[in-house]
Amino acid sequence: MKLLIFGVGGFIGSNLVEHLIAEGEHEVIGIDQSDEKLAGIEGPNFTFVEADITKSHDLADEMVSKADVVVDLIAYANPSIYVATPIDVVQLNFFENMKIAEYCIKHGKRLFQYSTSEVYGKAGRDGFYNEETSDLIMGPVTKQRWIYAAGKQYLERIIHAHGLRGDLEYTIVRPFNFVGPRFDYLVPAETKGGPRVFAHFMSALLTGGPMYLVDGGNQRRSFTHIQDTSEAFSILLDHPQAINQIFNIGNPATDISIKELAIFMMELYEELTGKKPNNELIEVSGEEFYGEGYEDMNRVPPDISKLRSLGWEPKRGLRETFSDAMRYNLDPAVHASILA
Ligand code: UDP
């Protein structure tokens, strides 16, 4: 099969390509405006095309026409960006993604749309978030952090409606806090509101700066090893029951509070480096960390029974997930710039 991946140069894309190269079963063509995270990822079945999707619509249309399956990973995926530049977020994450869906409809191609666990929004009544039964609960419009989740939700609803009408074959996946090598980006000590939590805490460990606990750090997340998520992709690609369906990809066994995560990462850092960290844990408000317009989800627990029923199981626990992600960042070639 010929797979076309939009946004191949990001964290999920670069790890997915590495996995697909190792499998060697498909021809993969990836598009992105930068190949920075693809350094060293090479294989006879992988071709990279450098292009900014927002300025290359004809090229994107033509490439979709030549593919068998289209994987759309294009997104700004950082709460700090949703708060600071909400228009850019909806422009890319909704309108540009919608164009890719339209090319798939036009050329009759199957679309793999990466969405987000944030579509579930604030904690509802349900224990675990289920694709078929959970309500999707967004915060107020004036809290612009929800523009990302609302945009992705609307995108999902339109894609689903096309599936119902019979003019699009789709699979939607909802990632629950994927972590691993090449995740996000490191930042100098004391940076607030930059990357996702792992990258902030990792940067603090490397620089000796404080670890900020937003609103106390009692909110919980479950984290998924990126390799488990690439394996999920392969199952979904091959399984007939994945057509016109939505799947959570997550690992409920790794559920942990952000404060516990900070302490856990300090312990892991000592195990991996032999150096005892003594970072200060500082509580800050969401507004101070991200700016006005932030709201949080206090828990994001995935129900993964649907994907399990297709034969997938997350194999890597908290320790392996965070050790692998941390080891990558311990390489001086990766972290030198934040210590300069
Ligand atoms: N967070 C934190 N300290 C940080 C970065 C993030 O306490 O340095 C919190 C953030 O407020 C959120 C959680 O950690 O409650 C996870 O944030 P992240 O941006 O990684 O992902 P998301 O909120 O999208 O799950």
Protein residue with least CA distance to atom 18, ligand 1: 196
pTM > 0.95: yes
DSSP per position, 167-210: S--EEEEEE--EE-TT-S----TT--S-S-HHHHHHHHHHHT-P
Q: Would you say residue 61 lies in a domain?
A: no
Q: Would you say residue 190 lies in a domain?
A: no
Please state the atom number of ligand 1 nearest to the C-alpha of residue 217: 7
Alpha-carbon distance of 30 to 220, in angstroms, equals 34
Q: Would you say residue 115 lies in a domain?
A: yes
Please state the atom number of ligand 1 nearest to the C-alpha of residue 298: 15
Please state the atom number of ligand 1 nearest to the C-alpha of residue 118: 24
Cα(first)–Cα(last) distance of the chain, in Å? 45
Rounded distance from Cα 296 to ligand 1 centre (Å) = 8
Specify the DSSP element, H or E, that contains 291.
none
Protein residue with least CA distance to atom 11, ligand 1: 214
The number of domains in the chain is 1
Q: Which pLDDT score, from 0 to 100, does residue 127 have?
A: 84
Please state the atom number of ligand 1 nearest to the C-alpha of residue 221: 25
Q: What CATH number should be reported for the domain holding residue 170?
A: 3.40.50.720
Protein residue with least CA distance to atom 17, ligand 1: 197
Q: Would you say residue 279 lies in a domain?
A: no
Q: Which pLDDT score, from 0 to 100, does residue 247 have?
A: 98
Rounded distance from Cα 163 to ligand 1 centre (Å) = 34
Please state the atom number of ligand 1 nearest to the C-alpha of residue 214: 7
Rounded distance from Cα 196 to ligand 1 centre (Å) = 6
Q: Which of 258, 288, 290, 300 to mutate to test the pocket of ligand 1 (most atoms within 8 A of CB)?
A: 258
Residues of the chain with pLDDT under 50: none
Q: Would you say residue 64 lies in a domain?
A: no
State residue 337 phi and psi, 5-degree precision: -65, -30
Protein residue with least CA distance to atom 13, ligand 1: 197
Active-site residue, selected from the candidate residues 148, 212, 269, 294: 148
Rounded distance from Cα 263 to ligand 1 centre (Å) = 15
Q: Would you say residue 188 lies in a domain?
A: no
Alpha-carbon distance of 325 to 236, in angstroms, equals 25
User: Catalytic site residue 148?
Assistant: yes
Protein residue with least CA distance to atom 14, ligand 1: 197
Residues lining ligand 1, Cβ inside 6 A: 79, 177, 196-197, 200, 212-214, 217, 219, 221, 258, 296
Alpha-carbon distance of 134 to 259, in angstroms, equals 27
Q: Would you say residue 230 lies in a domain?
A: yes
Q: Would you say residue 288 lies in a domain?
A: no
Q: Which of 197, 206, 223, 249 to mutate to test the pocket of ligand 1 (most atoms within 8 A of CB)?
A: 197
Q: Which domain holds residue 112?
A: 75-179+224-251+302-315
Chain-centroid distance of CA 180 in Å reads 11
Alpha-helix residue ranges (DSSP H) falling in the chain:
11-23, 57-66, 79-84, 86-90, 97-107, 146-165, 197-207, 226-238, 258-273, 286-290, 305-308, 318-330, 332-339
Instruction: Count CB atoms within 10 A of the CB of residue 319.
Output: 13
pLDDT tens, position by position, 38-69: 999 999 999 999 999 999 999 999 999 999 99
Rounded distance from Cα 134 to ligand 1 centre (Å) = 23
Protein residue with least CA distance to atom 25, ligand 1: 177
Rounded distance from Cα 157 to ligand 1 centre (Å) = 26
